[in-house]
Chains A and B, each alone.
Chain A
Amino acid sequence: MTKPTVNIVAPLGKTVDLELFFSDLSTLGQPFSDESVNFVDALSSALLTNSAYKMYPEMIALGFWLRRANIQRLKQQVLTDSIIRLPRGVVFHVAPSNVDTIFIYSLIISLLMGNKNVVRVSGKPSLQKDLIVQLINDLLLSPALTDTSANLLIITYSHDDVTSRYISEKADVRMLWGGDKTVGYFSALPIRPTSVDIKFANKYSMAIISAEHINYLSADELYLQARAFVNDSYSFGQMACSSPRAICWVGDTSSISIAKSKFWQVVKEILYGFEHELTESNYIDKLAYVFEHASKHRSKLNETSENSVLTIVDVALSEIVDSEFHCGSGLFLQAEVDKLTDLNKHLSRKIQTLTYLGFTFEALSDWIRSGIYGVDRIVPFGKSLDFDYVWDGVNLFDGVSRIVSIK
């Protein structure tokens, strides 16, 4: 087999024999070892206290998730006395090129489980990625983190088959971020029969809103919910797979019509003061989308849309899912149903997150069992972007560990 050449981004200054990295499993750790927990803690503190990261909310969110209290909680949930959980071995993480922090979550989960990790990051320049890699490098200088340093390799390489194939054939787990294209590409490269893939396909997310509930909220409550909705949708320019891209209104026609106008009015007001990252180019994309959609499906721009920041298109229920062309950037396809079950047949495997407003836990858990093929998570407004170790329906701790039974 041809030997691949890779460029090591972290740990900095280290020369690594790839062959040895894969064959030497003596550094595999114990789940939630003191060292790994300390590393995560140091990472969290640096992210939360160093003012250099203040301007990147996603870095603060990462630091928040990695904080000691949360890691302790995860440990309690994951490590139970009744089962023996061990690392799987070497995990190959393929990071997406566009969201610069999400792969850190799965990397940390894998490190905490005691695995060795090879992370392929994109060579594309990204400030956030560079900041976090630099931070990891600084931390790894500590003599107290030698095991972590031995178990972590962040690399870039030109996208050639040789290297991808080489690592694929040696890894015990491949964590494939980056959507359909990346997953498809790597799926064609063989892995060992004992290895597993964790795949993150392109996903589409929506909001479901009870019209009656909206109409019953006080002005202050409505404001808070609308604010949460704006955060869910407009962070990352609505391009995160969990940001809602469509709204399904639930209720009778007259309450929906009142609820819609109340809700969008507040959203519009919030957006005047919201620091979104949309640019002229995004607005042109949206305009072209709206007209293209209208010409093909006779959809109508909603009268609430009065500038390019908030764009609402009334579509038929059958068109509420458009995972292929939806351009994000504050574009909402909107349809209505009498009751939640009317939506069932549209909820394919492509559907990831439903953010909801105005439904009880009981109503939602009954509904989701009523014959729905898709949907990975259902979260209240404001929670769409929160990372959870159960992602796209997969428990990532389970994915990177193996359970040994002794009878």
Chain B
Amino acid sequence: MSQDILVQCFVEALGVQAPVVVDSLKYNSIAQWDSVAHMTLIAMLEEKFDLMLDTDDIIDMSSVAKAKEILSKYGVHF
């Protein structure tokens, strides 16, 4: 459930296909996940999971795996 929402956020924010969104996908490793798309992604995660991320966490979100780890801190379970 959370996994699906997460993938959907990445798909929409980065404009990539769902199979691309795997744990090992890293920030800046593909052209679509640049600093600009990152902001769209954060806004979307906050909206879909209804939470407010700290600045440090926004910066730390350097991969899909890391995103899950950070979201878990806010009570999202994967």
Contacts and interface: CB of A to CB of B under 8 A. Distances in A.
Interface of A: 44, 48-49, 51, 54, 57, 60-61, 63-64, 67-70, 72-73, 231
Q: Dominant SS at the A interface?
A: helix
Given A69-B51, A72-B52, A73-B52, A48 B43 contact: yes
Contacts, number: 40
B47 interface: yes
A52 to B, nearest CB: 13
A4 B43 CA distance: 42
Contacts of B46: 67-69
A61 B51 contact: no
B29 to A, nearest CB: 14
Contact of A57 (B13, B35, B42, B43): B35
Contact of B39 (A64, A72, A73, A231): A64
B36 interface: yes
B39 A69 contact: no
A270 B51 CA distance: 35
Contacts of B53: 69
B44 interface: yes
Contacts of B36: 54, 57, 60
Interface string B35-61: 111011011101100011100000000
A70 B46 CA distance: 10
Nearest to A55: B36
B35 A67 contact: no
B12 A69 contact: no
30 contacts: A44-B43, A48-B13, A48-B39, A48-B40, A48-B43, A48-B44, A49-B40, A51-B15, A54-B36, A57-B36, A60-B36, A60-B39, A60-B40, A61-B39, A63-B39, A64-B40, A64-B43, A67-B42, A67-B43, A67-B46, A68-B47, A69-B43, A69-B46, A69-B47, A69-B51, A69-B52, A69-B53, A72-B52, A73-B52, A231-B35
Contacts of B42: 64, 67
Nearest to A60: B36
Nearest to A54: B36
Nearest to B28: A227
B41 to A, nearest CB: 9
A67 B58 CA distance: 14
Contacts of A57: 35-36
Q: Dominant SS at the B interface?
A: helix
Contact of A67 (B12, B37, B47): B47
Contacts of A231: 35
A69 B12 CA distance: 19
A51 B13 CA distance: 10
A83 to B, nearest CB: 23
A101 B42 CA distance: 21
A42 to B, nearest CB: 12
B43 A63 contact: yes
B51 to A, nearest CB: 7
Contact of B12 (A49, A63, A68): A49
Q: Which of A67, A70, A73 has the most CB of B within 10 A?
A: A67
A67 B37 CA distance: 14
Contacts of B37: 54
A72 B44 CA distance: 15
Nearest to A73: B52
A95 B3 CA distance: 44
A64 B46 CA distance: 11
Given A64-B39, A70-B52, 15 more contacts: A48-B39, A51-B15, A54-B37, A57-B35, A57-B36, A61-B39, A63-B40, A64-B40, A64-B43, A67-B46, A68-B46, A68-B47, A69-B43, A69-B46, A69-B52
Contacts of A63: 39-40, 43
A299 B35 CA distance: 36
Nearest to B44: A48
